[in-house]
Chains A and B, each alone.
Chain A
Amino acid sequence: MIIVGEKINTSRRSIAEAVERRDDRFIAEVARSQVEAGASYIDVNAGTFLEREAECLCWLVETVQAEVDVPLCIDSPNPVALGEAMKRHKGEPMINSISLEPDRLRSLLPIVTAQPCRIVALCMAETSMPTTTEERVQAGSELIERLMNEGVPLESIFVDPLIQPVSVDTRMGVAALKAIQTIMEKFEGVNTICGLSNISFGLPERRLVNRTFLALCMCSGLSAVILDPTDKQLMSILLAAEMLLGRDEYCQDYIDAYQDGRISG
């Protein structure tokens, strides 16, 4: 399972404040703790800074990479901010994200194909959010084809089925799960990725719903996830699910995590 640590996002107040005062030690610590907890990418998002987004995002890229030796997931729909941040990034970043929305596709395509990178591809239709499995698979397939035509290898594409709340429509969970399964079968070698918190909007005990959904997504073939790796309960479910799905030889990772005190029952 590829884990993208989600905590460095300026929509969280502590992060916004740290970025505002350029507190590199605070940001470095949030990055380090996520890597130690198992993150293979660190997401950086400075979207709330609006017109100052590009400079803040660049500062985050440099600050995080000075501390930890993992690639970043550069999180912005803004082509200028993305382009600038990518120039400063060492190694191959993940770009979060591109979609079929015409303006976004047109402006981001040249940027994400200018240098090798992983790309999160949202299953958004041109003019609306997807509801059914079919809409997701269609948008995902079209985007995969567009990116491959531009020379992006299939393995570098991370399709995000877009998770919508079950509180609003109880079919939304299954629609996303089936989309993950279909896309993984239809394009062997592609990756699928999602965040977890949207699923539980409008419900009590959201974290319980989120981690149960993670296990279901993994069973449907999800290969990457955006989450808080320092959430011990969530990571415990992830490790147990990996093992139960036969992806943990000799149950070694699960047992190691237990012996290190990283899982809770």
Chain B
Amino acid sequence: MRDFHLLAQAVMNGDIKAAVAQTQAALDAGADVQELIDRGLIAAMDEVGEKFSKGLLFVPQMLRAAKTMQECMKLLQPLIKEGEVTSKGKVLIGTVKGDLHDIGKNLVSMMLEGAGFAITDLGVDVHPDKFVQKTQEIEPDIVAMSALLSTTMPAMPATIEALTRAGLRDRVKVMIGGAPVTMKYAQEINADSYAPDAGSAVTEAKKLLGID
């Protein structure tokens, strides 16, 4: 077994130079790309997410680690052939209709991506029909919705209803989050999961898909 400890450490520290050098060194030594991603980069981001959820790391550190991972991925991308590296699952994400807040949604996207999920981000002010249309098109495993205002929260059940009407509700898991959103609300509107922060979003997404 190859040791990716130094690479993981560099990613956690957000040290782009060291992480890129470690990635290159591992490649030069013949490391397997999938193994490098899983045990170096994703393992590091998992730990970042866990520490963030516990209040041991903060948003800027999380952003820095994610940026570092992205820089390492640039080195790996040309080496990855279609279908060779597997994603943990497909997530369709967006901020609901009437709501323009994107910071929380972007953090969740970033952490899910860091954890190995394939993300399709619909942006902000996403109409329920748009969620439906994209769900039909890309067949995601999870539909994730964010709302930062109590006044835009009702767009979440509206989107769930739209998915139901289109016959798609059984084919996806629905995860929700945002400052005014609670576990209780998630249950009331029949979402499958609630995530209070970007770190928990990763844990919840894995639970929904039975990973780990």
Q: Which residues of A contact B (CB under 8 A)?
A: 11, 47-48, 50, 76-78, 101, 103, 124, 127-129, 164-165, 167-168, 170, 201-204
Contacts and interface: CB of A to CB of B under 8 A. Distances in A.
Interface stretch (B9-17, B55-63, B82-90): B55-63
Interface size class of B (residues with CB under 8 A): 20 to 34
Given A11-B180, A127-B100, A128-B100, A202 B58 contact: yes
A168 B58 contact: no
Contacts of B91: none
A202 B63 CA distance: 11
15 contacts: A48-B150, A50-B151, A50-B153, A77-B149, A103-B98, A127-B125, A128-B124, A129-B100, A164-B103, A167-B59, A168-B103, A201-B103, A202-B58, A202-B59, A204-B55
Contacts, number: 52
A265 to B, nearest CB: 28
A155 to B, nearest CB: 28
B101 interface: yes
B70 to A, nearest CB: 16
Contacts of B150: 11, 47-48, 50
A77 B149 CA distance: 10
Given A48-B180, A77-B151, A167 B100 contact: no
Given A47-B151, A50-B150, A78-B151, A168 B63 contact: yes
Nearest to A165: B103
B102 interface: yes
A208 to B, nearest CB: 14
A50 B157 CA distance: 13
Interface of B: 55, 58-60, 63, 98, 100-103, 106-107, 124-125, 149-151, 153-154, 179-180
Contacts of B63: 167-168
A203 B107 CA distance: 14
Contacts of A203: 58-60
A202 B151 contact: no
Given A127-B124, A168-B59, 18 more contacts: A47-B149, A48-B150, A48-B180, A50-B151, A50-B154, A77-B149, A78-B151, A101-B100, A127-B100, A128-B124, A129-B101, A164-B103, A167-B58, A168-B103, A168-B106, A170-B60, A203-B59, A203-B60
Nearest to B98: A103
Nearest to B179: A11
Contacts of A129: 100-102
Q: State the main secondary structure of chain A at its contact with B.
A: loop
B114 to A, nearest CB: 16
A58 B17 CA distance: 58
Contacts of A124: 100
Contacts of B103: 164-165, 168, 201
Q: Which of A76, A129, A203 has the most CB of B within 10 A?
A: A129
A247 B101 CA distance: 36
Contacts of B100: 101, 124, 127-129
Contacts of A50: 150-151, 153-154
A139 to B, nearest CB: 12
A164 B148 CA distance: 13
A78 B151 CA distance: 8
Contacts of B60: 167-168, 170, 202-203
Contacts of B58: 167, 202-204
A135 B195 CA distance: 32
Nearest to B123: A128
A201 B101 CA distance: 14
B169 to A, nearest CB: 22
A257 B8 CA distance: 53
Contacts of A78: 151
Nearest to A81: B151
Given A47-B149, A128-B100, A168-B103, A201 B59 contact: yes
